[in-house]
Amino acid sequence: MAANDKLSKADASPATDTTPGAAPAGDPVAGVSGAGAGGESAGAAAQVDAVAVRAAALRALDDAALLALADAGARAEEAERKLLYALAEQQNIRKRAQRDEEMARFLGAKGVIAEVLPVIDNLRRALAGDLPEAAEEFRRGIRIVLEQLLQALKNRGLTPIPTAGKTFDARWHEAVVVEPSENGPDGAILEELEAGYRLGDVLIRPAKVKVAKSKA
C-alpha cells in the first residue's frame, strides 16, 4: 500500500525537459530573453530607417547643390556674354566716332580745297598772261606763291588728275570740247583746259579737257 502511494506521487510530479540547453518550463529567464530579442530587432529597424532618412536628406542636398551650381554657371555665362557685348559695343562706338571724326576732317579739307582752287586758277592765268619785262619779279613772286600753295594742298592729300597722253575717263574728266581728229584715237585728250584734282579716291573737281573724235 505504501509502495503504491510512492508510485502515485512519482507519476504526479511534473515532467522535466532533458534536452541540453533547454530552459525549464515556467522559467522566468526564458521570457525575459525573448522580450530582449524583440527589442533589439525593433532598435535595429529604427536605426535602418534613420540611415535611410539621412541618405535621402543627403541626396536632396546633393540635388539642390547641383541645381544651385548649374544656376550659378548659367548666370556667370550670361554675365560674361553681356560683358563681351558691352565691350564690343564700346569698340564699335569708338570706331564710329573715329570714322565720323575722319569724315569731318575730310569734308572740312574738301570744302577748303574747293574754295582755294579758283585762286590757284587765277594765279595760273596771271602767269600765262603777257606781262612787261618790268613785271618779271612780280611773275616770279606769283610762281612762288602758287608752288607753295600747291605743295600745301599736296600735303593734305590733294592730287592733280593726269591728262597728258591719257584717254578720256568720265570718272575724272569733263569733255568741254570734242574735236574731230584724223590722227588721234577716238577719246584721246588733246588739251587740258582746266586742271582737275582728287582727294584720295574722291573727286574734288574733274579736269576739263578737249577730246578727240575720229572722223567717220
Q: What is the CATH number of the domain that holds 204?
A: 2.30.22.10
- Number of domains composing the chain: 2
User: Residue 36 has what pLDDT?
Assistant: 52
pLDDT tens profile 101-149: 777 777 777 888 888 888 888 888 888 877 777 678 888 888 899 999 8
Contact (Cβ atoms closer than 8 angstroms) between residue 127 and residue 170? no
Q: Is residue 175 part of a domain?
A: yes
Do residue 125 and residue 179 come from a single domain? no
Do residue 196 and residue 171 come from a single domain? yes
- CA 54 to chain CA centroid, nearest Å: 49
Do residue 151 and residue 171 come from a single domain? no
Across the range 184-209, mean pLDDT stands at 88
Domain interval for residue 190: 160-216
**How far is the C-alpha of 76 from the C-alpha of 69, rounded, in Å?**
10
Do residue 85 and residue 149 come from a single domain? yes
Q: Is residue 64 part of a domain?
A: no
Using pLDDT thresholds of 50, 70 and 90, give the confidence band for residue 21.
very low
pLDDT tens profile 105-115: 777 778 888 88
Sign of CA dihedral 89, 91, 92, 96: positive
Using pLDDT thresholds of 50, 70 and 90, give the confidence band for residue 67.
confident
22 pLDDT exceeds 80? Answer: no
Q: Is residue 69 part of a domain?
A: no
Do residue 81 and residue 147 come from a single domain? yes
